[in-house]
Structure 1
Amino acid sequence: MGSRLAVVSGGGTGIGAAIAGSLARDGYDVVVVGRRADVLAAAAERIGIDCGRPGAGTPVAADLTDPEQLDRVLAAVDGRPVDAVVNNAGGYLGGDTDTLTGTAAHWRANLDANVLTAVLLTEALRPALRRPGGRVILVSSIAAQRGGADAYAAAKAALHGWAYTLAAQLGPEQITVNVVSPGYVAETEFFGDRMTPEGYAKRVAETLVKRPGLPDDIAEAVRYLTSPAAGYVTGQVLGVNGGSVLGR
């Protein structure tokens, strides 16, 4: 059992899986949380193999929009201090917005998936955060900074405001709170079958480095923010977007 513990939501695939794997290689035990038990089990097994510590990854299938299911995460933590909470769960949820009823459902679904999941997981684990030295990280999106994605953009932007408040609350306890804001990242499930060759080319062309991001690019940013080197960094939004949105 490692000396440090991290909890990563949306940790079964894509960016979340890369984050969980990176932290495990740094010596963390990692609780990977998501909705699909089979995907999480495979991810946890892969984490153990990759870091050479079978059992380093613990899968927890839970719907983080349901307060009652947070007990599953607490059971996996089992009273240990939590060094890092990485709120990566979320995504763009489409829907019928031709009616007010459909619009309301669309907005609620995106706010639940991207904001409520982070709030409930963080609040459930807040008493367990290591003091001093705990880390809370919220994974946002370039959409929060430049718009263009309707309810999803608004939901991700909400994480920024909440992060500033949380950073002020937890700072005196030497717990940092930061946001990582990715740009376009390939090799994830985010776009599903919606990505076209033209859409891919457009997003790459918007970057200054002329390549897509990869899950490991985001994982490395999270790795920095969870490290002792980032102990004086809190209340910040770290854009990892290849320069497609400049610092602001």
Structure 2
Amino acid sequence: MSRLIVITGASAGIGKATAHRFAANGDAVLMVGRRETALAAAGDELRAAVGGADVRHVALDMGEVDSVPALQDAVAATGLPVHGLLCCAGGTAGTGEGVKAVLSEWDEAYRTNVLTAVLATEGLVDQLADGASVVLYSSIAAYRGSGGTGAYGAAKAALHSYVHTLANRLGPRRITANAIAPGYVAETDFFDGAIDPDREAALVRQSVVGRAGVPGDVAGLAFYLCSPEAAYVTSQIIQVNGGQRHGV
């Protein structure tokens, strides 16, 4: 029987690469994202690349609680329990001047990076198979801080506490919960499709392996964390950054 893998933020970048990795393994994949057109195109691209792939999609903004019933219905329509939930949705928030702009930045950062993970996970907790895996996507910014007023880094750091709580709650069902914290990853929409060449060169120089990360680097770890080989790995924050920040 195929495993059902649910991936939020699946229309581009790391999320799309993650969907491709699981589909290539023969898993059933439910891709979730806000943009219907981009999501449908990503699904078509995946099916073209992986013949016979069982790929479905549902366009939802998982930062909104009203999206939860629709996500539950989309999962129920597959007739399968969820064996892997990968919360890739997230992004930076705009910055401005003044306290109101700061509040807006922090509200948006938490909505897009924290609530998207919390609402998807809590909404599907009863549809997770025993022995399933939950993987949240953090960032090197959770350790280093981030631009603007620091809202993005703080939001990603909040996921670390949440993943430890999940591991404790879901452990009796043999469900693992982990987070991946990538460093600089090229070929994503994180920098709105472009990054200043000097900034990119500086980020690459920080890597001890001398290159930028690619979405497949993160997707490969996500696949491992949802495999039987990782059944004893839980409550961990795993960095994937080419040595930009050394582990502890």
> What does 1:1-248 align with in structure 2 at a 5 Å threshold?
3-54=2-53, 56-78=54-76, 79-96=79-96, 98-131=97-130, 133-149=131-147, 150-192=150-192, 195-248=195-248
Deviates more, 1:83-92 or 1:190-199: 190-199
Shift of 1:26: 1.1
| Amino acid across the alignment from 1:16 | G
Q: Measure the CA separation in 2 of the matches of 1:193 and 1:11.
A: 16
Shift of 1:50: 2.0
Shift of 1:66: 1.3
3-state DSSP of counterpart to 2:151? helix
TM-score scaled by length of structure 2: 0.95
3-state DSSP of counterpart to 1:134? strand
Q: Measure the CA separation in 2 of the matches of 1:148 and 1:194.
A: 18
3-state DSSP of counterpart to 2:82? coil
Q: Measure the CA separation in 1 of the matches of 2:65 and 2:110.
A: 15
Deviates more, 1:37-46 or 1:112-121: 37-46
3-state DSSP of counterpart to 1:184? coil
Q: Which runs of 5+ in 1 are unaligned?
A: none
TM-score scaled by length of structure 1: 0.95
Shift of 1:25: 0.8
3-state DSSP of counterpart to 2:52? coil
**Equivalent pair of 1:84/1:134 in contact (CA under 8 Å):** yes
Q: Measure the CA separation in 2 of the matches of 1:81 and 1:140.
A: 25
Q: Which runs of 5+ in 2 are unaligned?
A: none
Distance 1:50 1:193, change over 3 A: closer
> Deviations along 1:105-148, whole A, 9 cap, x unmatched?
110000000000000000011001011x1000000000001213
Q: Measure the CA separation in 1 of the matches of 2:71 and 2:47.
A: 19
Q: Measure the CA separation in 1 of the matches of 2:126 and 2:3.
A: 16
| Amino acid across the alignment from 1:111 | Y
**Equivalent pair of 1:58/1:76 in contact (CA under 8 Å):** no
Q: Measure the CA separation in 2 of the matches of 1:158 and 1:194.
A: 27
> Deviations along 1:168-208, whole A, 9 cap, x unmatched?
11111100000011000000010115611100000000010
Aligned-pair identity in percent equals 43
| Amino acid across the alignment from 2:142 | A
Shift of 1:74: 1.5
Q: Which runs of 4+ in 1 moved over 4 A?
A: none
Shift of 1:80: 2.2
Q: Measure the CA separation in 1 of the matches of 2:152 and 2:127.
A: 30
The alignment covers a number of residue pairs equal to: 244
Q: Measure the CA separation in 2 of the matches of 1:47 and 1:226.
A: 20
CA RMSD of aligned residues (A): 1.1
Q: Measure the CA separation in 1 of the matches of 2:101 and 2:212.
A: 33
> Deviations along 1:75-126, whole A, 9 cap, x unmatched?
2211521000000000111121x21111111100000000000000000110
3-state DSSP of counterpart to 1:235? coil
